[in-house]
Each structure stands twice: as C-alpha cells, then as structure tokens.
Amino acid sequence: MHSKDNQLDKISEYVKQKFSNETTGHDYFHLERVVKNANKIAIEEDANLFITMAAAWLHDIADHKLTTNPKKELNELLQFLKQLGLQHSQIEAIMMIIDTTSYSKGVIPTTIEGKIVQDADRLDALGAIGIARAFAYGGSKQRTIYEPTKSTGSTIHHFYEKLLLLQDSMHTNTGRMIAAERHQYIENFLNQFYKEWEGE
C-alpha cells in the first residue's frame, strides 16, 4: 500500500535533491512556500489536496531556467510517479499542472488544483519574499537595482512589468485576498524606496 502522505514525502525528497543548489529564487524553500500557500488555498476552495500538494512540489521541475532538458526531466518524473504507485489519472492531473503553472507561459490551468498552484506560485513573487526574490534574481542576471533614466532593465522596473500585475491575475478568492495584502506591502516598499532614493 502506498499512503498519500508517504507519497508526498517521497515527492518532496525527489525535488529537494534536484533543487538544493539553486540560487535564482527557485530554490527548495520556494517550493516549500508554494506548498504551504497551496495547502491553505486548497482547503478553503475544497480542492483535491493530494493533487494540489504533489503539483505544488513539482511545478518548477521542467522550468527552462532550471534545466537544459525539460523533456528528460518530465520523462524521469513520469517514471518516478509510476514507481511511487500513483494512478494514471493522478499522474495526468499533476503533469498538466506542471505544464501550465509558469507565469511566462501565460496559460490558465483548467482545473481548480491547477489554478491553486498557479495562485500559490504567484503569491511567492509578492510581499517581502517577492521583493527579496526579485533582487536575488535581478542580481543573478547582472541587473541593477534601479535606473531612473531608463524605462526598463532594472529590478525596480520588473515590479511594474510583473509584480504589480499579479494581484489581478489571481484565480481563487483566497489567493486574491492574500495577494491584496502582499501587493500593498510592495506599494509601501516602493514609496519608501523612492523617498530614500531622493534623500528624504
């Protein structure tokens, strides 16, 4: 017998070993936070907890920023999930979510579990954590903190190109409520940032 808790433990171990050396903000702790966000939303929204949790752990596994060979990652994952004893329908639901979560793809997942994982992932780009991740990612791409004379290219510009748009892209009510609070936190941060920038 494969208990669901045991399967989720095995899945988290699988990603832990793959993501341990990641420094661009997609590290293992990002996954832990997305899992926690997703769990909270799934309970409120009455979604399938197992599918939501499993997909939350695995959502970044084939991200092109993290692997040079997404197909190989997905194949390996497929074998792993089969070995773990997941049903065909469970594997299909999880693989579909992995395929649609990423912001850059611009795809809206069709299932409630997929919508929840996408919301949970986006919440981690907001609030204090979102700010920390943006500067960590920007630094890793040799971006400056801010370039007031340019209209794009710095990490502060990324706030307007993506982070401040996320609140309106949430699919679930629970996600929207958490996003509103974290969005306000970013607005406050930006106000303070410009004040300090001007030497006030």
Nearest to 163, CA basis, from 120, 130, 115, 139: 130
* Among 114, 127, 138, 175, interactor with ligand ADP by CB under 6 A: 138
- 125 binds ligand ADP per the rule CB under 6 A: yes
Residue 130 near which of Ni ion, ligand ADP, none (CB within 5-8 Å, type-dependent)? ligand ADP
* Residue 51, SS3 per DSSP: helix
Nearest by Cα to 30 from 146, 105, 129 = 129
Distance (Å, whole) CA 158 – CA 15: 28
Handedness of CA 185, 186, 189, 190 (dihedral sign): negative
Residue 155 is a binding residue for ligand ADP (CB under 6 A): yes
- Taking the least distance from each CB to Ni ion, the nearer of 45 and 60 is 60
Amino acid at 125: A
Count of CB atoms within 10 A of residue 45's CB?
18
Minimum Å gap between C-beta 1 and Ni ion is: 31
Binding piece for ligand ADP, criterion CB under 6 A, among 87-95, 158-166, 169-177, 189-197? 158-166
Residues 30-69 binding ligand ADP (CB under 6 A) are 63, 65
Tell me if 60 contacts Ni ion by CB under 5 A: yes
Burial annotation 164-180 (CB, 10 A radius, 16+ → b, else e): eebbebbbbebbeebbe
| Shorter beta-carbon distance to ligand ADP: residue 86 or 134 | 134
Q: Give dist(CA 41, CA 50) in Å, integer.
A: 13
Q: Which of 55, 137, 174, 182 binds ligand ADP (CB under 6 A)?
A: 137
Label residues 13-43 b or e (16+ Cβ within 10 Å = b). ebbeebbeebeebbbbebbbbbbebbbbbbe
Which residue among 14, 119, 121, 158 contacts Ni ion (CB under 5 A)?
Answer: 121
Residues 63 and 79: their CA atoms lie apart, in Å, by: 18
Minimum distance, C-beta of residue 84 to ligand ADP, in the bound complex (Å): 25
Binding partner selected for residue 133 from Ni ion, ligand ADP, none, CB under the kind-specific 5 to 8 Å limit: ligand ADP
102 binds ligand ADP per the rule CB under 6 A: yes
Q: Which residues bind ligand ADP (CB under 6 A)?
A: 25, 63, 65, 102-104, 121, 125, 130, 133-134, 137-138, 143, 155, 158, 162-163
Q: Which residues bind Ni ion (CB under 5 A)?
A: 60, 121
